[in-house]
Amino acid sequence: MSVPAAVLPSVPVRILGIDTSCDDTGVGIVELLPDGRVNLLANRVWSQTVHARYGGVMPELASREHVERIDEVMGDALREAGLTVTDIGAVAATSGPGLVGALLVGLMYGKGLAQALNVPFHAAHHLEGHIFAAASEAELRAPFLALVVSGGHTHLFDVPRDGEYVLVGATLDDAAGEAFDKIARLSGLGYPGGPAISEAATRGNPDAVPFKEPLQGQKTFNFSFSGLKTAALLAHRGGAAPEDLAASFQRAAVNVLVKTTTRAAHAHGRRTVVVSGGVAANTALREAFRATDLNVVFPGRGLNTDNGAMIALAGAAAIRAGRPASPLDGGATAYAPLANA
Ligand SMILES: Nc1ncnc2c1ncn2[C@@H]1O[C@H](COP(=O)(O)OP(=O)(O)OP(=O)(O)O)[C@@H](O)[C@H]1O
Ligand SMILES: [Mg+2]
C-alpha cells in the first residue's frame, strides 16, 4: 500500500470539528502548525439531559436537540478560541458510527459550513476521533497500539502506519463503559455509572467481592464484561455494600483492561499505547496503566467522552497524513468498522 506524503500547511490552519453521534453536541477547534504540531483552541460540549427520564438515549429527541443547540455550541467554541468563522480553514464532522439521525445533524452542518467558507471538508470516524483525542497531550505518530474503551466499545487496534487500523481484540459482549453503567444502576449509584463507581470505589473494599477476571489465560486479546455484570448482580442480591461492589468490580475491570492491553502491546512490539474513550477518564485505570512499562498516552481533560475537539484532532491528522478531502455527497453510517485490514 502506498503511503501519502505528509502534507504540512505553510501557515497555521484552524480546523473546526463536530461530533453529534449520540447525545452530546460537540464542537472543537484545533490549529495545525506548519511544523506539524497541533494546538487545542476550544472544546465545547452540550450534554443533553432530555433523555434522563427515559433511562436511555431516545434517538429522535437526540437529533432534535442537536438541531436546536449546534449553532450556539459553535458560537461558544469560536468565542473560546477567540476566532470568527472566517478564520476556519477546514471542517471535520463525524459520519459514523452512531445514531444516524443524530450524526446527520452535525454532518450536514459541517458540510454546509465547509461549502459556505469554501474550505476542505473531512468526514471523520468516531473511533479515530476518540483515539486522536490523545493528540492533545502528545504528538501521535504510528506505530502505536490504541485501546478505545467507551460506552459502546472496548476495542484494541494496532496502528502500524498513519491511518491504518488493524483490529487486535474486542469485547465479546458488553463494552466496559456499559458494565460500569449497568453495575452502578443495579447498586443504586446513579448515572453515568463510570464516575459514580469511581467515586464510590474510593470508600469501598476491593477485596470484599471476589470477581473472577474474565478471559485471562487466553491467547487472544479479547475482553468480556457480561460475566462481571452477572457476578455483580448476584453479589448485590447477596447484600454486598454498593461501595464494596464498586471497588471490587473496578479493580477487576481495570486489571483485565491493563493486562490484556499490555500483553497485546508486547506481542505487537508497540511501546506507545493510546487509551481513550469515556472509561479512560477513570483514575484507577490511569494509575494502573502508568505503572506498566508502556508509554501510555491519555486524552486531555474533557476529551475522553464524546466531543468535537477529538474530531478536529482526527481531521488535523488526516490533513497531515495527506488524505484527500471527503466528497460532500457522503452519508452517515450507523455501523462503520474502523479496522481496514
Ligand atoms: N471515570 C470514569 N470511570 C469509568 N467509566 C467512565 C468514567 N467516566 C465516564 N465513563 C464511562 O464512559 C462511557 C461514556 O463514554 P463515551 O462518551 O466515550 O462513550 P459513547 O460515546 O457513549 O460510546 P461510543 O463512543 O463507543 O459510541 C460511559 O459508559 C461512562 O460510564
Ligand atoms: Mg463516543
Q: What is the pLDDT of residues 187-231, one digit of tens each?
A: 999 878 999 999 999 999 999 999 999 999 889 999 999 999 999
Return the C-alpha cell found at 250.
473496578
177 annotated to a ligand binding site: no
- The C-alpha atoms of residue 334 and residue 56 are separated, in whole angstroms, by 17
Task: Burial-class residue 33 by CB neighbours within 10 Å (0-12, 13-18, 19+).
Answer: middle
Q: 288 and 150: one domain?
A: yes
Tens of pLDDT along 1-24? 444 567 888 999 999 999 999 999
Q: 25 and 111: one domain?
A: yes
Tens of pLDDT along 147-179? 999 999 999 999 999 999 999 999 999 999 999
Q: Quote the pLDDT of residue 1.
A: 42
275 annotated to a ligand binding site: no
Any ligand 1 atom below 6 A from CB of 308: no
Q: 126 and 151: one domain?
A: no
Q: Total structural domains in the chain?
A: 2
* HSE-CB of 217 using CA atoms within 13 angstroms: 3
Q: Give the C-alpha distances (Å, rounded to integers) separating 152 from 21, 97, 174.
A: 12, 10, 8
Is 168 inside any structural domain? yes
- The C-alpha atoms of residue 77 and residue 100 are separated, in whole angstroms, by 24
174 annotated to a ligand binding site: no
Q: 214 and 265: one domain?
A: yes
Q: 187 and 108: one domain?
A: no
Among all ligands shown, which has an atom nearest to the Cα of 151? 1
Q: 171 and 263: one domain?
A: yes
Among all ligands shown, which has an atom nearest to the Cα of 150? 1
Nearest CA to ligand 1 atom 4: 194
Q: Bridge partners of 14?
A: 31, 88
CATH code, domain carrying 49: 3.30.420.40
Q: Quote the pLDDT of residue 19.
A: 98
Domain that holds residue 117: 13-136+303-320
Q: 46 and 173: one domain?
A: no
Q: Quote the pLDDT of residue 281.
A: 97
CB 178 within 8 A of CB 152: yes
Is 90 inside any structural domain? yes
Q: Quote the pLDDT of residue 54.
A: 83
Question: β-strands 88-96, 13-19: how paired?
Answer: parallel
193 annotated to a ligand binding site: no
Q: Give the C-alpha distances (Å, rounded to integers) separating 174 from 24, 201, 277, 289.
A: 21, 21, 15, 22
If you measure from the C-alpha of residue 171 to the centroid of ligand 1, how many angstroms do you get, rounded to a whole number? Answer: 15
Mean pLDDT of 320-337: 95
The preferred substitution site among 258, 275, 304, 311 for testing ligand 1, maximizing ligand atoms within 8 Å of CB, is 304
Is 243 inside any structural domain? yes
3-state secondary structure of 185: helix
